[in-house]
Amino acid sequence: MSTLRYALFTGCTARESTPEQMKSTMAVADKLGIELEVLNEASCCGASHLQDYDEFLSLVLNARNICYAESRGMTMVTICNTCQLNTVMTKHKLDSDPAMKAKVNEKLAEVGLEYKGTSDIKHFLYAIIDDFGLDTLKAKIVAPLSKFNIAPFYGCHNLRPSELGEGDNAYNPTSLDDLIAACGGKSVDYEEKNKCCGFHAELQAPRTAALLTGKVIAGAMDGNADWMVTPCPLCHLKLDTQHEHASEAIGREVALPVLHMQQMVGLALGCSAEEVGLQHHVTEVPV
Amino acid sequence: MSITTQKINFKVFRFNADTDYLPHYKNYEIEVTSEEVVLDILNRIKWEFDGSFSYRRSCRHGICGACAIKVNGKGVLACKERMNSLIDLFGTELTLEPLTIKRAIKDMIVDKTDFWEKHEAVKPYLLNHIEAFPDEEHIVTNDEAEELLEADYCIQCGLCHYSCPVVDVNEHFIGPAAFVKAYRFEADVRDDAHIERLEIVNERDSGVWDCVKCMECAEVCPKEINPIEKITKLHNMLFTEGVAKSTVAVRHAVGFKHSIAKHGLLDEGELVRYSEGNIGVIKHVPVAIKMFVKGKIVLPWNMPKSEKLDEIKTLVKSSSTAKF
Ligand code: SF4
Ligand code: SF4
Ligand code: FES
């Protein structure tokens, strides 16, 4: 297999509140021989909130981010569900609406850029599964996670709307379950695995958000999970740091270690706990 | 293609609010043919197993919105959803449930009062003072009609409303279907109630702001109306029409732009402070301390910046379309 090379759009969270996500992404890429070139020029994707305030501005900024993957001639890889969705939504809009593309390009021309639509946008989860391949990954597993029941938590923006997704069915997704199995773990089936963690309304509607978080963790606990694993740093933050509010809201003590999918893969590939950044978790991860 | 059959186990929600204290599930084993839709199965349960089995249906053409139910948690119009695609997706064990168990009256039939109350609350009609004998026609251009066309296709089936996790945990949330309806009239150039209706959308029980952006409504809508996209348009209107007030939610949206203009990236800590205000932010301190100890908080002076930040600043200045 020729070397896989991608332009990595880190998003903001990996650079700030989930440093372990950055560490584990790089560690996994290194172990798998995937080359990631960080898009340091990129701005925030707007996370759907800038979109509420000023949709056009968010299109321009996201188009600019994509331009930097295009100028490298690479597929853009994201490590956050919300970055993925907002970037792909921008691409979808510009590729299907020539008038809007022209309007956005008029702005980008001011800084000497042009959106062309030549780069694909892919979550790292699917780069591993579809491009690298689970069989190739399996062959590299040196520390199978056979001791652990692992509850996959897909995250909304990974699955919905499915026409912008990457092949998982929103009502019965399997990619993360397959990845868990490839790492030697046992995946936990539970009703909330494709539901919402509430992250995006945490400040605006704290009670709603806490109730949703609580239901998710409770579902995974009832499925006997030792850990949860997610491809989204925002879901991670919500589930890892907010379980006390969640417990209060649903009237039941809930808490589980929540790993980024890169951490899980990294551990199975033989990285140390330190290398994948487990020391950065608020809810301790026993390994 | 030839017609094939397959044995399917249906686990069906049964309940009669008049006589039962609790619902139960009853199993029916049925030979399903490859041509059938879910409504055919509902009919066969009634005709072949139990005449008291109850569900709503009328048009059988995906247009009346009466037959919405859930199969293995997936919201479907029973008359439109092919059994074959459900079997492909979920296999041979299928659970049939009403849209919302909380509001079940009899088997698949739910009490949609909350749905209609919220629908009513957004003034789902054209408000316009029309002259009895106008001098000229009120022409709506094609482009203007396009704006509301999609939203006008809503058949009030309730699938988005009863798939919305916020409606599920907060009975006051207006919900995606009523927002679609609000948008349908907000986008209508003949309507005179723009601000009045936007104020409802902004304020009634937190309005659009409590949406968690889960995209369930976009996924489930059988008419491909994409309710969350209409909700985003309503958000945009709140700003362009000057209806948005300085609340946590509004500052949270605006704060993204401030941060991007300054760093390119989002300053997560500053966003929380700006959204909550200097007093409101205090309640986040206990969690913030735990995060800080684990190296999860970047201090203001270490805030990373995008490379070529000048480009971002230029674009923020030249491409902004809303003010707050
Ligand atoms: S995107 Fe918003 S309105 Fe739509 S289902 Fe989710 S929370 Fe409800
Ligand atoms: S928006 Fe779609 S899902 Fe919601 S009530 Fe209308 S037709 Fe049904
Ligand atoms: S029976 Fe009318 S929509 Fe299904």
CATH code: domain of residue B167: 1.10.1060.10
Above pLDDT 70, what percent of chain B? 100
Helices and strands (DSSP H and E) totals, chain A? 13, 8
Angle at B101 between CA A220 and CA B204, to 5 degrees: 90
Contact criterion met (CB < 8 Å) for B315 and A40:
no
B75, B124: one domain = no
B180, B68: one domain = no
Q: Which residues of B touch A199 (CB under 8 A)?
A: 212
Q: Tell me whether residue B324 is in a domain.
A: no
A262-276, B34-48, B123-137, range with the lowest pLDDT: B123-137
Ligand 1 atom with the shortest distance to the CA of B164:
5
B289, B314: one domain = yes
Looking at B222, B240, B258, which one is the last position of a domain? B240
Q: How many residues does chain B have?
A: 324
B121, B214: one domain = yes
Contact criterion met (CB < 8 Å) for B291 and A162:
no
> What's the token pair of residue A149?
């029941």
Q: Write the pLDDT tens digit of every residue in B55-102.
A: 999 999 999 999 999 999 999 999 999 999 999 999 999 999 999 999
B214 CB less than 6 Å from ligand 1? Answer: yes
How many domains are there within chain B?
3
Residues in CB range of B19: below 8 A, 6 or more apart = none
The answer, for A203 touching chain B at a CB cutoff of 8 Å, is yes
B134, B101: one domain = no
When pLDDT is averaged across residues B1-18 and rounded to a whole number, the result is: 93
Q: Tell me whether residue B40 is in a domain.
A: yes
**Cα B127 to Cα B27: distance, rounded to the nearest angstrom:** 50
**Cα B101 to Cα B111: distance, rounded to the nearest angstrom:** 10
B104, B133: one domain = no
CA of B218 to the centre of ligand 2 (A): 9
Among B5, B16, B15, residue whose Cα is nearest residue B41: B5
B258, B203: one domain = no
Looking at B79, B110, B141, which one is the last position of a domain? B110
CATH code: domain of residue B20: 3.10.20.30
Q: Tell me whether residue B276 is in a domain.
A: yes
When pLDDT is averaged across residues A171-179 and rounded to a whole number, the result is: 97
Q: Which residues of A touch B265 (CB under 8 A)?
A: 12, 15-16, 43-44
Q: Tell me whether residue B106 is in a domain.
A: yes
B83, B148: one domain = no
Minimal Cα–Cα distance from B135 to chain A, Å?
36
Q: With contact defined as beta carbons under 8 Å apart, do A38 and A22 qualify?
A: no
pLDDT at B1 over 80: no
Q: Write the pLDDT tens digit of every residue in A33-87.
A: 999 999 999 999 999 999 999 999 999 999 999 999 999 999 999 999 999 999 9
Contact criterion met (CB < 8 Å) for A212 and B212:
yes
Ligand 2 atom with the shortest distance to the CA of B227:
1
B121 CB less than 6 Å from ligand 3? Answer: no
**Cα A185 to Cα B258: distance, rounded to the nearest angstrom:** 43
B60, B164: one domain = no
Looking at B110, B126, B149, which one is the last position of a domain? B110
Interface size between A and B, measured as CB pairs under 8 A = 207
B79 CB less than 6 Å from ligand 3? Answer: yes
B234, B131: one domain = yes
Residue A1: which pLDDT band, with cuts at 50, 70 and 90?
low
Residues in CB range of B230: below 8 A, 6 or more apart = B150, B151, B179, B180, B183
3-state SS, residue B71:
strand
Q: What is the pLDDT of residue B136?
A: 87
CA distances from A91 to A77, A98, A108, A125, A163 (A): 14, 11, 15, 19, 13
Segment 275-304 of chain B within 8 Å of chain A by CB? 275-276, 287, 290-291, 294-298, 304
What residues make up the domain containing B313? Answer: 248-319
**Cα A53 to Cα A46: distance, rounded to the nearest angstrom:** 10
3-state SS, residue B200:
helix
B16, B55: one domain = yes
Q: Write the pLDDT tens digit of every residue in A86-122.
A: 999 999 999 999 999 999 999 999 999 999 999 999 9
B273, B311: one domain = yes
What residue ranges define each of the domains in chain A, with the CATH number in brackets?
5-123 (1.20.1050.140), 137-280 (3.40.50.11810)
